[in-house]
Structures are given as structure tokens and as C-alpha cells.
């Protein structure tokens, strides 16, 4: 499968623990996005990178959240001191920015459950 | 404010019936709109975008700037169309997508 890959697919953690998710975008895609989706809602934008630069962060992204894309390829999303409200599906998407083509391809997501 | 509204959480139709999934948006400027679909146990995928003016799997969507709508239509629904459908608006910066809450389409035999 050459699409966007996310790991792990599922994560159960105790409240207060730290978790880290990984996203491998489609090769050569220069933009990478993180979204969060809770039950019954559409995906909500969290942050995005162009190459290794983090260009925008949503107000949804509290200080406990940090994302990196150190070499402009894969990205990690870390949540520190998890809370029950962090339980959600975390989606990653990537796109190649060029004139007239900005389709975003999504991964299958990481489902986080905080108990 | 940029916003996408999908008023129906669930739409249930019989096979062969026409389908219209509603989407309204709020945006200042020239919007770029998309429909994404998520079939059971599959990832979110692009169905169509308004700039392409294409028909995918029999679905079409027309941007109506006067009514700020981008409704998704299909004249004859098929059982395999059953899925979650999300309308999305590309934001002002960076290509991020602003999604509606989604509409679950259920096509009964």
C-alpha cells in the first residue's frame, strides 16, 4: 500500500500518560496535515507542515500537543498528560502542492482511547 | 467565519431512488469545495471537487454561490453508495480542509 500510513491503528492509554503517533505520508508529498475526529463529527484541523516547517496550528492544539516533521518526510504527534477528552480518531493527510492540484490523501487514522 | 453545515445526520433511501445530500458553507472569497466519502472500514477519500465539474460514480455537485450551497446528487442510488459523506471547504491558507459534520447515507434494497 503506497498511501498514507499511520501507526499505531489503535492506542489505549491511562489518563496522564504520554502518547506518540506516527504518520508516513505519500512519498514526495510536501504537505502533511493532522486532524482530529470525535464521534459524530467531521474531522477538525489541528496543524500542518510544508516540508519540515510547521506553518499553522489550530487553537484546538493545546500546549500538551506537539507535532514534528523533522526531515520533511514522516511526522509525529505527541500528546502529553493525556485526558479523557483527548479520546478521538487522529487522522493524517498529505498532499502535493502544485498548480491546480491540491487533493489531500488520508491515512486510516489512529484511534486513541484514554481510560 | 469559515463554516460547513450538513443539516442531515442520516439519509435513508431505497435503491433506485434519487439522492441529495445537502451542504451549505460560509466563506469570504472564492470557495473551493469538495465531497469526501468514507465507506465502512475504509479511509476517507475524495469523491469529487467543484472545480473539476466531474461526475464520479454517478454523483454530481454544483456550486451555487447565491445560495452558498454545494449539494451532492445522484439520480439513482445503489446499495454500494451507503457510506459517510463529508462536505469540505478549503481554508484561506495552507490548504487545510474545513469539514461538515457528515451525513450517513443508507441505501436499502
Q: Which helix (H) or strand (E) holds A5?
A: strand A5-7
Residues of A in contact with B31 (CB under 8 A): none
The pLDDT of residue B7: 96
Q: What are phi and psi of A37, to 5 degrees?
A: -130, 120
First CA to last CA distance, chain B: 41
Question: Is residue B56 classed exposed, middle or buried when 0-12, 13-18 and 19+ CB atoms within 10 A define those classes?
Answer: middle
Q: Name residue B18's beta-bridge partners.
A: none
Cis before residue A8, ω within 30 degrees of 0?
yes
Nearest Cβ partner for A48 among B43, B96, B101 = B96
The span from the CA of B33 to the CA of B99, in Å, is 10
pLDDT per position as a tens digit, A50-89? 999 999 999 888 899 999 999 889 999 999 999 999 999 9
- Look at B94 and A43 and tell me if their CB atoms are within 8 Å: no
The span from the CA of A11 to the CA of A87, in Å, is 10
Between positions 39 and 78 of B, the ones with CB within 8 A of A are: 42-46, 49
CA atoms within 13 A on the CB side of B92: 7
Mean pLDDT computed over B87-91: 91
Nearest Cβ partner for A108 among B43, B97, B102 = B43
pLDDT per position as a tens digit, A67-76? 999 988 999 9
Residues of A in contact with B46 (CB under 8 A): 103-105
Q: How many CB pairs under 8 A join A and B?
A: 59
* Residue B73 binned pLDDT confidence (cut-offs 50, 70, 90): very high
Mean pLDDT computed over B81-107: 92
Q: Give the Cα-Cα-Cα angle B42, B43, B44 (nearest 5 degrees).
A: 125
The span from the CA of B11 to the CA of B106, in Å, is 6
Residue B15 corresponds to which cell in the numbers above?
435503491
Amino acid at each position: 500500500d503506497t498511501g498514507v500510513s499511520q501507526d499505531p491503528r489503535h492506542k489505549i492509554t491511562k489518563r496522564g500518560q504520554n502518547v506518540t503517533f506516527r504518520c508516513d505520508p505519500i512519498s514526495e508529498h510536501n504537505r502533511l496535515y493532522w486532524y482530529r475526529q470525535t464521534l459524530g463529527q467531521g474531522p477538525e484541523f489541528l496543524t500542518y507542515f510544508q516540508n519540515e516547517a510547521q506553518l499553522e496550528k489550530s487553537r484546538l492544539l493545546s500546549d500538551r500537543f506537539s507535532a514534528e516533521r523533522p526531515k520533511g518526510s514522516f511526522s509525529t504527534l505527541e500528546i502529553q498528560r493525556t485526558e479523557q477528552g483527548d479520546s478521538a480518531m487522529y487522522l493524517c493527510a498529505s498532499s502535493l502542492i502544485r498548480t491546480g492540484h491540491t487533493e489531500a490523501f488520508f491515512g486510516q487514522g489512529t484511534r486513541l482511547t484514554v481510560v | 467565519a469559515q463554516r460547513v453545515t450538513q443539516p442531515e445526520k442520516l439519509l435513508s433511501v431505497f435503491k433506485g431512488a434519487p439522492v441529495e445530500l445537502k451542504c451549505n458553507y460560509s466563506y469570504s472569497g472564492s470557495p473551493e469545495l469538495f465531497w469526501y466519502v468514507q465507506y465502512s472500514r475504509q479511509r476517507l477519500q475524495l469523491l469529487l471537487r467543484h472545480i473539476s465539474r466531474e461526475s464520479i460514480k454517478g454523483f454530481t455537485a454544483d456550486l451555487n454561490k447565491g445560495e452558498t450551497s454545494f449539494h451532492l446528487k445522484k439520480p439513482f442510488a445503489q446499495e454500494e453508495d451507503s457510506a459517510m459523506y463529508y462536505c469540505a471547504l478549503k481554508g484561506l491558507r495552507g490548504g487545510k480542509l474545513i469539514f461538515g459534520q457528515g451525513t450517513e447515507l443508507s441505501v436499502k434494497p
